[in-house]
Amino acid sequence: MAKSPRFTAQGSSTDSTAEEKTSLTKHPVDQGMPPLKLATTGLQHVAAMYAGVVAPPLIVGAAVGLSGKELTFLTGASLFMAGLATLLQTLGVWNIGARLPFVNGVTFAGVAPMLAIAGGQSKEDALPVIFGAIIVAGAIGFVAAPFFSKMVRFFPPVVTGTVITLIGVSLLPVAFGWAQGPDPKAADYGSTTFLGLAGITLVIVLLLRRFTRGFVKQIAVLLGLVIGTLIAIPFGATDFSPVTEASIVGFPTPFHFGAPQFVAAAIISMCVVMLVSMTESTADMLALGEIVDRPADEKTIAAGLRADALGSAVSPLFNGFMCSAFAQNIGLVAMTKIRSRFVVAAGGGFLILMGLCPIAASLIAVVPRPVLGGAGIVLFGSVAASGIQTLVKAGLEKDNNVLIVAVSLAVGIIPIAAPTFYHHFPETAKIILDSGISTGCLAAVVLNLVFNHIGKRADDDEVTAPMEPGEEMTHRGGKTVGVVTH
């Protein structure tokens, strides 16, 4: 159907400029944005994932006995590498990078095995051994990426919808933890003050989303974080010490903690983490592809996994850890509807600057955890809602698909509902079992194979692909026989 001509106020038609025509032909993922909007929306992504980036180096650094200054250095290195990995993922080089609005940072999946590795080494050797294992695991992951990506055909909507829902549900406890305060061991953890600040921030974000329009509506989360932080000042919940103690300029000196060491047991452990990370990244790319209306195919997933693996292999050079996708930012994309990958690239640029300028990084650190928690409820809940939207297209009128979703969700929620459920299993096994996203994804893939592929009869009315808007299933004699497009 031909498009109607554009008219001026006087009713005469006018031609679009060359720039407008180019913009119209580009997918929203590939469209640029004005500098101010690019910067503010990019900062929103940084704010959403900052706590997740700095937590692993703080935990591991404290475990190996680093001083406060060395902890700051390790954190800055993680921010720097998260920025480089994000640029690699969003902008891409050759066949590396998904070229989607995809944020990369330090994966939580590696924290437990890194602590186990550190426990078996001297304080001086712990980080070099960890870094050596990450380098090898990253290199293996890079080579394996194109083979791993062939699994995409095993991810129909009944699987991807389940996994997307699990991503959101698995992240919500993180937001709830933030809402209770910065220190779980503190006496005021979970106090009414902290919960109140989280609730106020949540209400502010909701009000901004409901009663504002355009640009202000799109940066509602960032505005909510700023307003929530200001409100927290009279309650003593805002700590400005990170700003006063931070240096203006700093650079993650290569191999600052010593040359990498290669220990077989540590390498095997981090290879398992890489496998888990690749599984979660595949699920995240499929989820993001659905949200931005650019489904991630085998080529895209292979390129994205290469970026993850290369970022991980290079990260130890600058004293960083294994890099992977950050699911919480998918929620931000889903909520704001801003699909441009250049927005996330701008966020990657800010992360690099924070890594090079500790005082800039400290500005984000000022945001109280309860304020982050209030905003996180919206962000992570949006991910779960996107998964439910995908499941609507998954053919849940079939009993088989209902069983797939039911059992997979149950398996994926086990680590959340019963954190000690697998406590008798070996530590290596718990790396996978304690990740609800990984176990739920594996369950969904296996069950889909069993119910919808292996031994499938010719008369099965399988529905494993989403219908386009305007399509209806036609039936004859009780069987599905085709699709009618209006």
Question: By CB neighbour count within 10 A (0-12 exposed, 13-18 middle, 19+ buried), where does 23 fall?
Answer: middle
- Residue 1: pLDDT band (50, 70, 90) is very low
pLDDT in tens, 46-83: 877 776 677 678 778 877 877 766 777 888 888 898 88
- Give the other-Cβ count within 10 Å of 253's Cβ: 11
Determine, yes or no, domain membership for 480: no
On whether the CB atoms of residues 305 and 350 are closer than 8 A, the answer is no
Beta bridge partners of 476: 479
The least confident of 5-14, 140-149, 202-211, 385-394 is 5-14
What span, in angstroms and rounded, lies between the C-alpha atoms of 266 and 96? 27
Mention every residue, 6+ apart, whose C-beta is less than 8 A from residue 372.
47, 51, 175, 178, 225
pLDDT value of position 24: 55
- Give the other-Cβ count within 10 Å of 151's Cβ: 14
On whether the CB atoms of residues 190 and 360 are closer than 8 A, the answer is no
pLDDT value of position 9: 39
Determine, yes or no, domain membership for 120: yes
Q: What proportion of the chain, given as a percentage, has pLDDT over 70?
A: 82
User: Looking at 276-401, which runs of residues are DSSP E strands?
Assistant: 323-325
Q: Report the number of distinct structural domains present in the chain.
A: 1
Determine, yes or no, domain membership for 405: yes
Mean pLDDT of the 452-472 span: 53
User: What single DSSP character describes residue 418?
Assistant: -
Q: Using the predicted structure, report yes or no on whether residue 144 has a pLDDT greater than 70.
A: yes
- Write the Ramachandran bin of 205: left for phi over 0, alpha for psi from -120 to 50, otherwise beta: alpha
Domain containing 188 equals 29-452
What span, in angstroms and rounded, lies between the C-alpha atoms of 246 and 248? 7
- Write the Ramachandran bin of 380: left for phi over 0, alpha for psi from -120 to 50, otherwise beta: alpha
Closest by Cα among 341, 362, 387 to 163:
387
What span, in angstroms and rounded, lies between the C-alpha atoms of 444 and 163? 8
For the chain, the C-alpha Rg in angstroms (whole number) is 23
pLDDT value of position 465: 44
What span, in angstroms and rounded, lies between the C-alpha atoms of 350 and 355? 9
pLDDT in tens, 267-302: 887 887 787 778 778 878 887 888 888 888 888 889
Determine, yes or no, domain membership for 459: no
pLDDT value of position 124: 80
pLDDT value of position 68: 60
Determine, yes or no, domain membership for 362: yes
Determine, yes or no, domain membership for 391: yes
Q: Using the predicted structure, report yes or no on whether residue 243 has a pLDDT greater than 80.
A: no
Determine, yes or no, domain membership for 22: no
- Name the token pair of 476: 């004859």
Phi, psi of 212 (to 5 degrees): -115, 170
What span, in angstroms and rounded, lies between the C-alpha atoms of 142 and 303? 9
Determine, yes or no, domain membership for 20: no
pLDDT in tens, 389-404: 878 877 787 888 899 9
pLDDT value of position 378: 84
Give the C-alpha distances (Å, rounded to integers) separating 214 from 147, 208, 211: 43, 11, 11
